[in-house]
Amino acid sequence: MVVSFEFPPIMRRQKPEVLAPAGSLATVKTAIDFGADAVYCGGKAFGMRSAPRNLSMEDFEEAVAYAHARNARLFVTCNILPTNDEIDAMNTYMGELGEIGVDALIVSDIGVLMAARQVAPHVEVHVSTQAGITNYQAANAFAAMGASRVVLARELDLEAIRGIRAQVPADLEIEAFVHGSMCMAFSGRCLISQHLTGRDANHGDCAQSCRWKYHVVEEKRPGQFIPVEVTDGGTFLFNSHDMNVLAHVDEILDAGVTSLKIEGRAKSAYYVAAMANAYKTAVNEYMIQRGYEDEDGRSLRPFTHQLSAAEGYTPHEGQQNGPVVLPEWLLEEPMKVTHREYSTGFYYPDHPAGENIVVGGYMNDWRWLGNVLRFDEAEGRLHIYAKNKISPGMDIEFLFPGHAPVVYRVPAEGLRDENGDPVGQINHPAHEFSLPCDRAIPTGAMIRAQVRARSLPLAPPAAAAS
């Protein structure tokens, strides 16, 4: 069942932009409804994720219309490393996307970039992180070839990003990953999956072999201690941390990044909704506290990368030039989606990303329980579409855009099924139920609950915020 959303209009920005992932048409709509300024997704071929359902040409047409009607944008991944026999089909595909009206093509191959300029001349070209851009010379070279944006290699720290921003044209946009899974290979160019399983990661078919459990032995150095085997049961040697820099959005934007990219085209609609909302809310706080906008979203001055006081920046009255302060509920949001152990990636050299060599699976302390269908004010009842079990006495949260989650305890009585008959608990997924509620919750709000005790700190180490 597709749940429609009825949220207040959301202000969109191109700079700074919150860029969310989507693996299906429904998730594209969810990302936009929960605050994303732009969404990136793939088609049935030529993208770096083959596991999600991805979008058909008909889906792209509907996605473009949905996005543009809400002042959002749609980007499509064309970032595989194509073989000779794929070139003609890929060029035709990019031309068709241009005719549909997508806003950008994300590419990694130089030949694909040049072809995109020919077959879809009115579409922006963004250079993928797969291209491994680590310096301003490379960024400028891609700009000279027609790229309007570069997605930086994930291995860069903030100082390197500042250096790139200072040496590239002002209109060249810089995109950087801020949240989600990280790859142990440089900028995602990995051959482990292809070597072990025949599934080519560079054609979007990664088996995530780096997450498997390994024993490592160096046969020519017997007795020499190699600190990789944690227990007799082996080690998850290549299992990289996930990235979470929500607490440091201000420093990343100040360094010159214009688009904050959330990883996760294979993730659930709930994950996309929660993280799009979290980073959108953080950027809103940044824009207000840095003096770019007032509380109502009215522009006070154009957005540029933040200047220090020594460089001539003068805060607006009542605004601060120091760290942007985010509410505690917002910093908790990354803990409420499926994740591995978090790090701040490579933004802070003193706290680089590492690997969790003991545990290989996901941490999933919270569960998506369903969506709100409608609120009946006359009856004081909330109608929901259930995905998981909801029991009396359970503390649940309602998640909707731009708002702290609303906490609600499920009453001991008053639960009803879709026919209006009383039930002891909500335990039939994909069915409609209703429950008493004294607050109007918007249609489309997501329902969740904590099912396990918190396993990790709320935010990256404070020391990383240097």
335-360, pLDDT tens digit by residue?
Answer: 999 998 898 988 998 876 655 555 55
Least confident of 102-111, 298-307, 349-358, 409-418: 349-358
Strongest mean pLDDT among 140-144, 310-314, 438-442: 140-144
Whether residue 16 is preceded by a cis peptide bond, meaning omega within 30 degrees of 0, is: yes
pLDDT band, residue 240 (cuts 50/70/90): confident
CB 446 within 8 A of CB 400: yes
Do 38 and 132 reside in the same domain of the chain?
yes
Do 46 and 82 reside in the same domain of the chain?
yes
Do 27 and 106 reside in the same domain of the chain?
yes
Do 336 and 399 reside in the same domain of the chain?
no
Residue 79 is assigned to a structural domain of this protein: yes
**pLDDT score, position 434:** 97
- Is the pLDDT confidence value at 230 over 50? no
Do 392 and 328 reside in the same domain of the chain?
no
Tens digit of each residue's pLDDT (9 = 90 or more) over 126-175: 999 989 999 999 999 999 999 999 999 988 999 999 999 999 999 999 99
Mean pLDDT for the stretch of residues 326-334 = 97
Question: Where residue 91 sits, what CATH number does that domain have?
Answer: 3.20.20.70
Residue 411 is assigned to a structural domain of this protein: yes
Residue 353 is assigned to a structural domain of this protein: no
Do 288 and 155 reside in the same domain of the chain?
yes
pLDDT band, residue 241 (cuts 50/70/90): confident
Mean pLDDT for the stretch of residues 33-52 = 81
CB 314 within 8 A of CB 300: no
Tens digit of each residue's pLDDT (9 = 90 or more) over 112-129: 999 999 999 999 999 999
Q: What is the dihedral of CA 283, 284, 289, 290, to 10 degrees?
A: 60
Residue 413 is assigned to a structural domain of this protein: yes
Taking the C-alpha atoms of residue 384 and residue 403, their distance in angstroms, rounded to an integer, is 19
Tens digit of each residue's pLDDT (9 = 90 or more) over 272-290: 999 999 999 999 999 999 9
Do 28 and 76 reside in the same domain of the chain?
yes
Residues 6+ apart with CB under 8 A from 341: 241, 242, 356, 359, 363, 456
Mean pLDDT for the stretch of residues 388-401 = 96
Do 165 and 25 reside in the same domain of the chain?
yes
**pLDDT score, position 350:** 87
CB 110 within 8 A of CB 132: no
Residue 146 is assigned to a structural domain of this protein: yes
- Is the pLDDT confidence value at 420 over 90? yes
Partners of 426 in beta bridges: 390
Do 134 and 24 reside in the same domain of the chain?
yes
> Which structure tokens are listed for 301?
């001055």
Alpha-carbon distance values, 344 to 162, 226, 382 (Å): 17, 26, 39
pLDDT band, residue 193 (cuts 50/70/90): low
Residue 220 is assigned to a structural domain of this protein: no
Mean pLDDT for the stretch of residues 246-262 = 96
* Mean pLDDT estimate for the chain: 85
> Which structure tokens are listed for 99?
């005719």
Do 432 and 293 reside in the same domain of the chain?
no
**Of all residues in the chain, what percent carry a pLDDT higher than 70?**
77
10 Å CB burial of residue 228 (0-12, 13-18, 19+) is: middle
The model carries a pTM of: 0.85
- Is the pLDDT confidence value at 292 over 50? yes
Stronger pLDDT, 205 or 39, i.e. the higher one:
39
**pLDDT score, position 464:** 40
**pLDDT score, position 313:** 45
**pLDDT score, position 222:** 58
CB 225 within 8 A of CB 258: no
Question: Where residue 417 sits, what CATH number does that domain have?
Answer: 2.40.30.10
Do 156 and 262 reside in the same domain of the chain?
yes
Do 299 and 411 reside in the same domain of the chain?
no
Mean pLDDT for the stretch of residues 182-197 = 58
Give the domain extent around 63: 17-183+241-310+320-343
Residue 85 is assigned to a structural domain of this protein: yes
Mean pLDDT for the stretch of residues 77-106 = 95
Number of structural domains in the chain: 2
Residue 460 is assigned to a structural domain of this protein: no
